[in-house]
Every structure is written in C-alpha cells, then in structure tokens.
Amino acid sequence: MIIFKMFKRGGGLMKYRILTNNPSVAAKYENVLYIEGTVDDVLVKTRNLIQRGESLVTHPLPASIRMMYTPYRSIVIGQASGSSDFLQLEIVEESITKYRRIIEYRNVDIKNNRDYENLDLWLLESALYEMNTNI
C-alpha cells in the first residue's frame, strides 16, 4: 500500500483522499475512499463532498468523450478549505450534467475492464505526479 503524500505550501502534510470505484486504485493506495458503484456514483459523491466544503484537486471529468464510456474514475479531493469555492461547485455540477448527457444513449463499456482499470490508474498517477511537482 502506498500513501501518496501531498505537501502543504509552507510544510506539513495536506490531507487528501482519492475517491474511486477502481479496485486497482483501492488496492494500491491507502488514502482511498472506495465507492462500490458506477462513475456516476463517484461523481455524485465528489459533488457531495465539495458541497460540504472539501476541495477539488483533480477535475472530475476526463479529457475526451471516449473516456466517459469507461467504467472507472478516480478523483482526488483535498481537505476542507472551510468555505465553498463557487468555481469548484460549478465545475462539479457541470461535470455531472455533461457526463450524464454523454452517457445518455450509451452503455458503459465493460468489455475491456482490466485495461480500463489500468488506464484509470495510470491517468490518476499522472495527476498525482502533476501534484507532486508543484510544491
């Protein structure tokens, strides 16, 4: 199990969690909130936490329509900032709307599950790398 550390500016560790429905991510990292469910469930949970004042570290959506059809999503959430950030609230809300519209006519592609687990993990790790280089 890996604990991914994210440092606060000026030192100290920032608390963060990975919200995911991807078993590979849950198996590899420790600070995970594992959601047994769909991407939609992950997005809704993310929204609920952001609405409670936690902060959105990575964007809830992928960068292409193709990725929206995949069955896994991992999103990094930071500790409560104390106040609600309008932009984050809007981003998370709009993400859900966009996701649902794109997926409206479609079935989530589950044939390539193993591949998608890995792909989601790699994209998450790319994001973690991006976070770690910004200290």
Partner 1 sequence: MVKEIERYGIPIVHIATITTISTSVGANRIMPAVAIPYPVGNPKLSPAEEKAMRYELVDKALKTLETSINEQTIF
Partner 2 sequence: MRLELGRIFIKDIQFGSETKVSNGLLTVNKDELAELIKEDDRIKDVKLDIARPGEKVRIIPVKDVIEPRVKVGSKVQGFPGVTSAMHRVGLGRTNILYGAAVVTIGDIVGMQEGIVDMFGEGAKWTPFSKTFNLVVDITPEAGLEPHSHETAVRLAGLKASSYLAKCAENMEAEEVLVYEMDNVAENIKKYPDLPKILYVEMLISQGLLHDGFIYGVNSKEILPTLIHPNEELDGAVISGNCVAACDKITTYQHQNNSVIQDLYAKHGKELNFLGVVLTPELTTLEGKFRSCEMTANLAKMLGADGVIVSEEGYGNPDSDLLIICKKLEQEGIKTVLITDECSGQDGFSQPLADTTPEAVAVVSAGNVSHLVKLDPAEVILGNIAAIENISGGWHDSVQEDGRIFCELNAIIGATSEIGFHNVTTVLR
Partner 3 sequence: MSERFKVVYYVNQFFGQIGGEDKASMEPEVHESTVGPALGFNGLIKDSGDVVATIICGDNYFNEHKADALEKITSIIKKYNPDVFVAGPAFNAGRYGMACGEIGKYVFEQFKIPVVTGMYKENPGVDVCRQQAIIIETGDSAAAMRKALPVMAKIVTKLVNGEELGSPSEEGYIPQGTHKTVIVDKRGSQRAVDMMLARLKGQEFETEMPMPVFDRVDPAPAVKDIRKATIALVTSGGIVPVLNPDHIESASATKFGKYDISGMDGLSPKDFKTIHGGYDPVYANEDPNRVAPLDILKQYEKDGKIGKVFENYYVTTGTGTAVANSVKFGVEIGAQLKAAGVDAVILTST
Closest contact distance (angstroms) between CB of 48 and partner 1 is: 7
17 binds partner 3 (CB under 8 A): no
What contacts 10, CB < 8 A, 6 or more positions away? none
The smaller minimum CB distance to partner 1, of residues 13 and 80, is found at: 80
The interface with partner 3 within residues 29-68 (CB under 8 A) comprises 47-48, 51-52
Find which of partner 3, partner 2, partner 1, none residue 58 binds, CB within 5 to 8 Å per kind.
partner 2
What contacts 77, CB < 8 A, 6 or more positions away? 16, 17, 18, 19, 33, 46, 49, 50, 54, 55, 56, 57
114 binds partner 3 (CB under 8 A): no
CA-to-CA dists, residue 108 to 29, 79, 124, 135, angstroms = 25, 31, 20, 37
Footprint of partner 2 (CB under 8 A): 56-69, 76, 88, 91, 94-95, 97-98, 101-102, 104-107, 109, 111-112, 115-116, 118-119, 122-123, 125-127, 130-131, 134
